[in-house]
Structure formats: structure tokens, C-alpha cells
Amino acid sequence: MKIDYSNLKLDRLNDYEQKALNAFDALMDGSGEGSDFIGWIDRPNDYDRKEFERIKKAAAKIQSDSDVLVSIGIGGSYLGIKAVDVALDKYFDSDRKVKLIYAGNQLSGQYMTELLEYLKDKDYSLNVISKSGTTTEPAIAFRFLRESLEEKYGKEEAKSRIYATTDKKKGALKDLANKEGYESFIVPDDIGGRFSVISAVGLLPLAACGIDIDEFMAGFADGRNKYTKRDFKNNEAIKYAAIRNMLYENGKDIEVLVNYEPKLKYIAEWWKQLFAESEGKDGKGIFPVSVNNTTDLHSLGQMIQAGKRNLFETVIEIENPLKDIEIKEDSENLDGLNYLAGKSVNYVNKQAMEGTTIAHVKGDIPNLRIIVDKIDARNLAELFYFFEIAVGVGGYMLEVNPFNQPGVEEYKSQMFKLLGKPGYENK
């Protein structure tokens, strides 16, 4: 992974070096707020090998008896998984042994009804992911899906098809798993949801659909080796955090994550949660948004090019796409594309990226580029770790706790009051 800063003015970056290093020190030595939730930093080296092997065995069982695994979770128990799943799957006819389907990440009655109908003629298993077991969306989904599974297979066989990823010791889901005998895996106490794809939360469903989790963990180890060094010049995660802080203090309070490969759409969705939940506190924070180009150049492109000048772009470039196709000459040339004959679609895509960058930089949109060699499990894991270190450093530079999310509780209180949940009458 490389970073291209050529479209940024970095003459003031040195002014942010000490601030960034102080924030990095607070992250690494555990002296900053929220340090109870930095277990992900050393996780690439100190993960539970026995649980890792159990995950592989459970994944093999799912592959042997199921066409579909329904992953039930929301937020960090959903987005990281789907980001890797979508990025590494084929666009159309998947050749995976097990199809991953998601539930519990929204409250659509139509979605649930159609999901239950879809599963009627499928062999399937459930992986319910919730530390407490009482989060509204996954709890509702699990209630429906568990009932459907028991009706299809009977209560005893259904138990062997339910995998609970939950708290090690307590909570409603842990109690149910103990009572019913579900195989269970741990949501770590020291890793928050948006960082948890490195744990059983992400590893079990990803392994079940055939992703090489050894390579995935190796990518996190690559990231740890690169991005935990106290080196402002060469540690790109520290530098990225400093650049973001510099731009923020110069009025650039919206960051647009840009990709030119549709497979990266859910990487951006995970990234938005990571930065929004980590930085958006105390009236502070860079608002994270994303675009999928070239598609969105025909919609949001106008706003980015000529709207309010309070944003900057971070572009993820895939240097070596796995597949490509050449444009051939057409004898009639009615579409006027013969000037592209002999060039590939990816070549055209790269020129669109370069042209867009030039136009946006001219329009006062600072632009930095993260260059990833190719989309595979190892590179994606390194990219995740890069962003995680950067958001920890960036949060401390903003003087907020990057590892809590107190703002999400207010909507829940108001929703529960409207739903008539006991104890919320006077909220």
C-alpha cells in the first residue's frame, strides 16, 4: 500500500508533527481516553489460536451442511463482514460454497418476509452476532429466523445450525447459547464493534463463505508492522491523521472517500462508520461521505466540483485489477469510440480518475490517494488496520475519545419511548 500526496499542499504539515506523535503515543501506550478498547492493536499477534481453529472447524461444518449462512448483526457486527465479502466475491455468479446473507441490520418488514420465503428451500445456518443479545434490529431478526430454522429442521438439529458470537460471560444471548447448547464465539471486551472484523465477529462468517482467514490475519499483521512505528515521516497512518487534522483546521470538514471499483462500495460503508462513530463528538469531527465513481460523477460530481469548498477527497486506487477487457474497433463507429480501440476498460477508468483528480484539485478540492496493489484478503486487512490506527490518532488530535459512541443512545431512548418499552415512559 502506498500513499500519493502530490495533490496536497503540505508546507504546513510539519506544524502538526508533534501533535500527531503525541496522539500516537496516547494510542499506543494506552494513556488516552477509551484505552479499554484498544485490544485490536495487538490482536494480529496475540489472538486466541484455539478459538481460531474452532472458527475454521465451524466454518467447515457450515460448508458441509448449508447453502446459506445468515449473518445477523448491525453496525460493526455487519459492515466489516460485508465489506470484505463484497470486495472478494464475483459480481454475478459466485462460486462460493456458502452464500452470505445479512439480517438484523435494518427494520424492514418486507425484507424479513422475503428472506424467510427465500430460505424455505435452502439449507442454511445462522450466525447471530451481538454482545448483549438485546440490540433491537438483530434481536428481532434472530427471533424470526430461529423460529423458522426450528420449524424446518426441528429444535435439536436447529441447535447445531446456530452459532452465537457474543459476550464471553454474560448477556441475554450468552445465556440463551448456554441454555440451548449453541456453539459460541467471543465478542472481545477490549475491541469495539467497528474494529471487530479481526475477531470472531468477522472471521467466522468470512471463513464460512470461503475466504482465507489466515491470509486475512496476515494482512492485519502487515498493518501492525507498518503502522505502529513512531515515525512521522514513514508511518503513513500517522501522516494521514495529521493531514486530515490540518485540512480540518483549514475549514475542510467533509472527507469524501472515492473509489473507482464497485467492489469497494462496502469498504466505504465500513469506513464511514469507523470515522463517524470515532470522531463525531463534542461538536467536532470531519463528516465522512463516499462516492462510487465513475457512477457518481454523473450525480454528486456537480456538487463536489462546484459546491461549497469545505471538503477534501481520499481516493482508493487499485493499481492492478484482477481482470480487464480490451475495447475493439468497430467498422461503423456509430458511437465514436474507435479512438479507444486497443485500450482496456481499466485504462479508460484510470484516465477518468486522473482527469477527475485534476479537475477537482483545480476546483480547490485537496486530494490524496491510497494505492492498493490488488483486492485480496491480505491487502484489505492491511487497509483496515491503516484506517484504524489513523482514526485513533485523529480522534486524539481532535481531543475526543475515539472509542466510544455516546450519541447513538439518544435515538434509542426516543424510539423505545414511542414503542412503549417498559422503563422508557419518561425519557
Active site residues: 277, 412
End-to-end CA distance of the chain: 48
Strands (E), 104-242: 124-129, 162-166, 183-186
Give backbone dihedrals phi and psi of 168, rounded to 5 degrees, phi first: -65, -35
Q: How far apart are CA 405 and CA 146, in angstroms?
A: 30
The x, y and z cell numbers of residue 203, run together, are: 472471521
Q: How far apart are CA 62 and CA 98, in angstroms?
A: 8
Give backbone dihedrals phi and psi of 166, rounded to 5 degrees, phi first: -155, -170
Nearest CA among 241, 255, 232 for reference residue 14: 232
The x, y and z cell numbers of residue 374, run together, are: 490488488
Q: How far is CA 248 from CA 20, 184, 279, 391, in A?
A: 14, 43, 12, 14
Q: What is the DSSP letter of 326?
A: B
Please tell me the chain's helix, strand, coil percentages from 3-state DSSP, rounded to the nearest 5. 55, 15, 35
Give backbone dihedrals phi and psi of 145, rounded to 5 degrees, phi first: -70, -35
Count CB-CB contacts under 10 A for residue 212. 14
Nearest CA among 282, 268, 274, 270 for reference residue 389: 274
Count CB-CB contacts under 10 A for residue 357. 20
DSSP 42-101: THHHH--HHHHHHHHHHHHHHHHH-SEEEEE--GGGTHHHHHHHHHHS-SSS---SSEEE
Residue recorded with cell 494482512: 219
DSSP 327-350: PPP-SS-TTS-GGGTT-BHHHHHH
Q: What is the DSSP letter of 289?
A: E
Q: How far apart are CA 158 and CA 149, in angstroms?
A: 6
